[in-house]
Amino acid sequence: MGVQAFYVAKKNPQSFVYGYDNSSGDIATAQSHQQRRGITNIRFLVASHDDFEPPYRMDMIYTADSLIGTNEVQFGGNNIVEDAQNLLTRRLLKFNESLNPSGIYMVTLGSTPRTDSGLVGIAEQCGLKHIRTIEGPAEGIDEHGELGRKVALIFERN
């Protein structure tokens, strides 16, 4: 936990980075690494996407494989985005409200083109303009015959 936060903090010493996770053990590990590395522009908190309250509007929000927890949604439909639409809408609206004008939201996840399209549609309804998709290598074929791969979806606050 915290690899991305450490990278951003180190590359942007003039910035302040918040990292959060709902696992107190993971937060303790990240804080220990932070102390050993002497990085002072990060704060790690035990929180979820739903209860983290940024102290001010952010320039960037990044979620790595955690936008939807496997224990948060009853998966049973044909598409994870459809199954989690209300949860995604609530979180993406919150992220949009937490960003500065022209702030960036980036999410990385294992995905398919159909999932990408659904997530982009919900994000755009929440005021986040899709500006770029970066695709990783193929990871297999899903039950609908779609190619699964790691993807980064990047949005800008409208």
Q: Which pLDDT score is estimated for 82? A: 76
Average pLDDT, the chain: 89
Q: What is the pLDDT of residue 75?
A: 62
- Cα–Cα distance, 21 to 52 (Å, whole number): 9
Residues of the chain with CATH 3.40.50.150: 58-157
Residues 6 or more apart whose Cβ sits within 8 Å of residue 49: 63, 66, 67, 91, 94
Q: Is the pLDDT assigned to residue 131 strictly greater than 90?
A: yes
Report helix, strand or coil for 16.
coil
pLDDT of residue 66: 81
Q: Which pLDDT value is given to residue 148?
A: 81
Q: Does residue 1 register a pLDDT over 70?
A: no
Compare 145 and 14 and report the one with higher pLDDT: 14
Q: What's residue 60's pLDDT? A: 96
Contact 43, 36 (CB under 8 A): no
What's the pLDDT score for residue 63?
93
Question: Measured between alpha carbons, how far is 158 from 11 in angstroms, rounded to an integer?
Answer: 26
Q: What is the pLDDT of residues 67-119, one digit of tens each?
A: 887 677 766 666 677 778 889 999 999 999 999 999 999 999 888 888 899 99
Reduce the DSSP state of residue 102 to 3 states and report it.
strand
- Stronger pLDDT, 102 or 145, i.e. the higher one: 102
pLDDT digits 0-9 by tens, 18-31? 999 989 999 999 99
pLDDT at 152: 94
The per-residue pLDDT for 80 is 72
Class of domain 58-157: alpha beta
- The dihedral through the CA atoms of 2, 55, 130, 10 has a sign that is negative
Measured at the CA of 107, the angle between CA 75 and CA 65, to 5 degrees, comes to: 50
Which DSSP letter does residue 1 get? Answer: -
